[in-house]
Amino acid sequence: MKEASFYKRLKDNQVQCLLCPHLCTIKPNERGSCHVRENQKGKLYSLVYGKAISTGVDPIEKKPLFHFLPGTFSYSIATMGCNFHCQFCQNSDISQPGNGIYGRNITPEEIVESAIENDCKSIAYTYTEPTIFYEYAFDIAKLAKKQGLKNIFVTNGFINPEPLKEISPYLDAANIDLKSFSEEFYKNIVCARLKPVLDSIKLYHELGIFLEITTLIIPGKNDSEKELTQISEFIASIDKNIPWHVSRFHPMYKMNNLGATPEKTLMKAIEIGKKSGLKYIYAGNLPGNDFESTFCPKCNAKLIDRYGYQIEKTTLKENKCPFCGEKINIIQNN
């Protein structure tokens, strides 16, 4: 447990959390929307500091990050809790904890040591929303930076500007879920708002944090041509070099009555993304297709051949296409 970094005290021992755009007003002995920040006698505390619910070594492609240190491993860590309540969450058992707070006591120093011992080049704050274990992630990230490790947020992007600016010197890359382009979707299906996510994506880019975007395409919910066009055009308006991952939905949690996303829907999204000018578009949760691989946006040569999370072959030379010389938006492991 650690006192929260971003909050203000109110009258009657109430506090307001300033970490994310929910801006929860929390009475004594109660918690915010994330379930892991509690008001104790007029002070706000993170209940998950140092309590890792999940750790593991993953290919960085699993995050998914295809253009940031491809072919390397990332040490992944999560605590319980989330500031979203997605009806399709694949990690609902740890993201929606209720009143229970579980996890192994692991210090930031131990996390960094484990990353180095496992030959990881980065630490990914993932599985649940890293914003809600901000203080823990911040302390780990500072230590990791000193040891030459990179830091990655796999995030819903629902964070206020000041906390993001504070951690940005230690944050190297992020994959942000842009779940929809509809305020109604964000309100009814994930219990949040769209605009703060859009603003956050812009700020990540302005701060120089390497960005990739993921959209899980859910049949009948966010798969219209209009909405996919809005998403891809928004990304392109920031930077056409940002990779966009369109990912296949599989039934789970409170949406187990829906079918999986048809392959043709992902192909439609890829075509829409290309029309919007995006240079790098990938199909996720659909292994064995050429849309997992990286192609030169100029001459269409295959530069990185992937199968699932594995790189089969690469011809990329010093971030340039060896066939036409086009510069590729990628950060490779030196």
* H or E segment to which residue 114 belongs: helix 108-117
Map out the domains of the chain with their CATH numbers. 2-46 (no CATH), 51-314 (3.20.20.70)
Please state, rounded to an integer, the average pLDDT across all residues of the chain: 95
Q: Which residues pair with 73 in a beta bridge?
A: 59
Alpha helices (H) in 118-176, listed in sequence order: 134-146, 161-167
What's the average model confidence in pLDDT over 42-58?
Answer: 97
- DSSP letter at 199? H
pLDDT band at 286 (very low <50, low <70, confident <90, very high): confident
Other beta carbons within 10 angstroms of residue 147's beta carbon come to 11
Percentage of residues in the chain having pLDDT higher than 70: 100
What type of residue is 88? F
Q: Which of 133, 122, 157 is nearest to 53 (CA)?
A: 133
The whole-angstrom separation of Cα 323 and Cα 331 is: 19
Tokens describing residue 215: 């959209």
Q: Which residues pair with 284 in a beta bridge?
A: 247
Q: Quick one: pLDDT at residue 25?
A: 98
What type of residue is 76? S
C-alpha distances (whole Å) from 4 to each of 26, 62, 82, 174 are 13, 30, 15, 23
What type of residue is 15? V
The whole-angstrom separation of Cα 310 and Cα 59 is: 8
Q: Which tens digits make up the pLDDT trace of 160-195?
A: 999 999 999 999 999 999 999 999 999 999 999 999
Between 12 and 290, where is the model more confident? 12
The whole-angstrom separation of Cα 133 and Cα 137 is: 6
300 contacts: CB under 8 Å, gap ≥ 6: none
Alpha helices (H) in the chain, listed in sequence order: 92-95, 108-117, 134-146, 161-167, 183-189, 195-206, 225-238, 263-275
Q: Which tens digits make up the pLDDT trace of 207-261?
A: 999 999 999 999 999 999 999 999 999 999 999 999 999 999 998 888 888 899 9
Q: Quick one: pLDDT at residue 6?
A: 97
Is there a cis peptide before residue 297, judged by omega within 30 degrees of 0? no
Evaluate if residue 63 carries a pLDDT over 80.
Answer: yes
The whole-angstrom separation of Cα 313 and Cα 68 is: 16
What's the average model confidence in pLDDT over 122-128?
Answer: 97
269 contacts: CB under 8 Å, gap ≥ 6: 215, 217, 223, 228, 232, 246, 281
The pTM score is 0.95
Evaluate if residue 28 carries a pLDDT over 80.
Answer: yes
Q: Quick one: pLDDT at residue 96?
A: 87
